[in-house]
Structure 1
Amino acid sequence: MTVYLTLLGRYALTLGAVAAAALLAFILWKQEAQTPWTRDGRMRADVVQIAPDVSGPVASVAVKDNQWVNRGDVLYSIDPRWLKLAVSSAQAEVEARRQEMAMRQDAARRRAQIQGVISS
């Protein structure tokens, strides 16, 4: 004698199979999140932060993604216009300080010359 499942029984069996598959998928996902796995069994990250000596926009990048580099290799270049502006600004500041120093020396020299004079 052949036993046929009722419509409700078929739905319950399908729902149970989907729930079991979802539970298994969740358990496997949770395990993968806690212990990452790679095909060769090794994970390594050699990532370093880099910063330039001068600020400015990057003009060009001399390396490709995941390329091996050595100490002293040029990785990128900064737009030279920013450096030239910084040098010009520093030179202008130096010249302003020289002018101020000359003015103060002149004032000190005049004060030294009139030290014995009394004005009323």
Structure 2
Amino acid sequence: MDERFRQSVRELIMATTHRRARARRNGCYVVDIDLCSFGSPWETFERDGQRIRAEFAGVPDDRYYPNLLRFLRALQDRPTFFFTDYFQQRYEAIAHANAQRLVETLRARGYSPV
């Protein structure tokens, strides 16, 4: 396998960690696809969140939810939730509403960001 191809794939995968400010063009689409459930109706978004939580079943709630709140705050602090026009036009408003609702739900349960 070509080394440049491997590096490109690695960069796309690493873009989904959401640790860098902005990925390259293809990475922007990968990141937006990774976050697209935020733009779903609340019930779907909530169900997806439960599935993600199940993937981290070994992490206690008192560690998981504060880190989730930190992640949500980072998303909310970005100029736009999504990087691409396609996702911004279709899902930006509902993504912000879902993120805010989740933040409020977690804070009402006594969690705060780390």
Per the normalisation by structure 1, the TM-score is 0.22
Per the normalisation by structure 2, the TM-score is 0.22
Q: Which has the higher contact order (CA 8 A, sep 6+)?
A: 2
Structure number having the greater strand percentage: 1
